[in-house]
Amino acid sequence: MYLVTDAAIATRAGHRLPDLVAAAVAGGVTAVQVREKHAPARAFLDTVLAVAAATPPHVPVIVNDRVDVYLAARAAGAAVAGVHLGQSDLPASIARTLIGPGGVIGVSVSTDAEMREASPHADYLGIGPYRATSTKPDAANPLGLRATGRLAAASTLPVVAIGGITATDAPVLRAAGVSGIAVVSAVCGVSDPSVAAASLRSAWETGR
């Protein structure tokens, strides 16, 4: 259960982001990615520090896109685990050199070629979008279940599906071979993030 944050969606739903993350973890989220596409570096760093402080030590906190913000948060003493990179961000090979062997690297992929390029340097892959989603307007065309399952089967790394995923999708995707599901609006945009996370987690468990 991988939560990808969106402060704007959380605010519209009436939540402070650190409080939302804490509630989602209580409901069953097991990893958190802090994603703020349009925030300046200092504001993004402050958000990462606040989320990391609100997240229990056993739940990894991943910084979206910005290797510099990850390194700054680590230098500030925050318990951040690594970075997640898109296809327009630094190549995973260069990011690995910058963050060292101990940091987690995830990479978003939607094709076999992207998967082959990222895999030697990454720890996991984000496969998507599963379906069209408004939280990432520049996303590739939706993959659907068949292509998602095929990429998951071909991967040598754990894979997380993302893109418009709901509780109904969770058991189907697990049965298709993905290692986890990532959600944004399904948790950030609801009145009770803990209940939403628990519902997703329960649905995921039925896909064993």
Domain positions in the chain are: 2-205
pLDDT at residue number 172:
96
Fold of the domain spanning 2-205? TIM Barrel (3.20.20)
Pairing of strands 31-34, 2-4: parallel
Note the pTM of the prediction, 2 decimals: 0.94
pLDDT at residue number 9:
96
**Which residues of the chain are under the pLDDT cut of 50?**
none
CA distance 52 to 128: 26
What are the beta bridge partners of residue 159? 125
The DSSP secondary-structure symbol of 88 reads T
Residue position matching structure tokens 């101990």: 102
pLDDT at residue number 134:
66
pLDDT at residue number 74:
97
Q: Return binding residues for Mg(2+).
A: 65, 89
Distance of CA 26 to the CA centre of its chain: 17
pLDDT at residue number 138:
63
Q: Do 85 and 57 meet the contact criterion of CB atoms below 8 Å apart?
A: no
Q: Return binding residues.
A: 33-37, 64-65, 89, 108, 133-136, 164, 184-185
